[in-house]
Amino acid sequence: MRITCPFCGERELGEFTYLGDAKPQRPAADASEEAVYDYVYLRDNIAGVMSEHWYHGGGCRAWLKVTRNTLTHEISAVEPAAGAGAAKVGA
């Protein structure tokens, strides 16, 4: 498999580390225990297109959001995580 890093270009799978579903958002500090439980443990097991976190640790160390079809491995989009390249956003 090959992933096109938005910073480095197309690279082979070995440079990346898979984390998992990118959908769950870390609950705020005052969230309920149930909300945190959901965040930590509950995952959709999608047969199809899903958004995933990948780390380009063997390259530029950017965390990426990869849209991948788990049935075909087709990757339709790759975007940087919010804080990758954050020096360009407002302070």
Partner 1 sequence: MRGDQANRLNNGGLIDRSAPLNFRFDGKTFSGFRGDTLASALVANGVKLVGRSFKYHRPRGILTAGSEEPNALVELRSGARREANTKATTAELYEGLEAASQNRWPSLNFDVMSVNQLFAPIFVAGFYYKTFMWPAKFWEAIYEPAIRRAAGLGRAAQVPDPDHYEKAWAHCDVVIAGSGPAGLAAALAAGRSGARVILCEEDFVLGGRLLADGGTIDGLPAAEWVARTLAELLAMPDVRIMTRTTLFGVYDGGTYGAIERVNDHLPTPPEHQVRQRLWRIVAKRSIVAAGSIERPIVFAGNDTPGVMMASAMRNYINRYAAVPARRIALFTNNEDGWRTAETAIAAGLQVAAVIDARPDVSPAHRSLASKGGFPVLHGSVAGVDGGKAGVRKISVSLTGGARAEVEADGLAVSGGWNPAVGLTSYHRGRPKWRDDIAAFVPDGAPPGMVAAGAANGAFGLGACLREGFEAGAAAARDAGRSGSTGSMPIADDAAFSLTPLWHVAGKGKAFVDQQHDVTASDVELAQREGFESVEHLKRYTTLGMATDQGKTSNVAGLAIMAAVTGKSIPETGTTIYRPPYVPVAIGAFAGHHRDENFHATRLTPSHHWAAEQGAIFVDTGLWKRAQWYPRAGEKDWLESVTREVKAVRSGVGFCDVSTLGKIDVHGRDAGTFLDRVYINAFSSLAVGKARYGLMLREDGIVYDDGTTSRLAEDHYFLTTTTAKAGLVMQHLEFCRQVLFPELDVQLTSVSDQWAQFSIAGPKTRDLLKEIVDPAEDLSNEGFPFMGAREVKLRGGLKARLFRISFSGEMAFEISVPARYGEAMARNLMIAGKPFGVTPYGTEALGVMRIEKGHVAGPELNGTTTAADLGLGKMMSTKKDFIGRVMAGREALVAPDRQVVVGIKPTDKARRLRSGAHIIPKGETPGPDNDQGYVTSVCFSPVVDQWIGLGLVERGRERIGEIVRAHDPLRGEDYDVELCNSVFYDPDGGRQRG
Partner 2 sequence: MADFSWDVRSPLDRTLVAGPYGVQGDAGVALTEIRNFDLVQVMARRGKASEMAQTAQARFGVAAPETPKAVGASDATLIWSGPDQFFMLSKGGKHSIEALAPVFAGSASLSDQSHARALINVSGEKARTMLAKLSSIDLHPDVFGVGAAAATSMDHTSVTLWRGTDRNGQVVFNLLVFATFAQSLWHTILDSAAEYGVTIGHSEDLA
Binding positions for partner 1, rule: CB under 8 A? 1-3, 12-13, 17, 19, 26, 29, 31, 33, 36-37, 39-41, 53, 55, 57, 61-63, 73-75, 80-84, 86, 91
Instruction: Give the nearest distance from C-beta 1 to partner 1 in angstroms.
Output: 4
Query: What Rg do the C-alpha atoms of the chain give, in angstroms?
Result: 15
> What are the helix (H) ranges across 26-71?
33-41
> Does 78 sit near partner 2 (CB under 8 A)?
no
Instruction: Give the nearest distance from C-beta 21 to partner 1 in angstroms.
Output: 12
The Cβ-side half-sphere exposure at 37, using a 13 Å CA radius, reads 3
Residue 46 or 55: the one with the smaller Cβ distance to partner 1 is 55
φ/ψ of 25, rounded to 5, equals -105, 135
Identity at 40, one-letter amino acid code: V
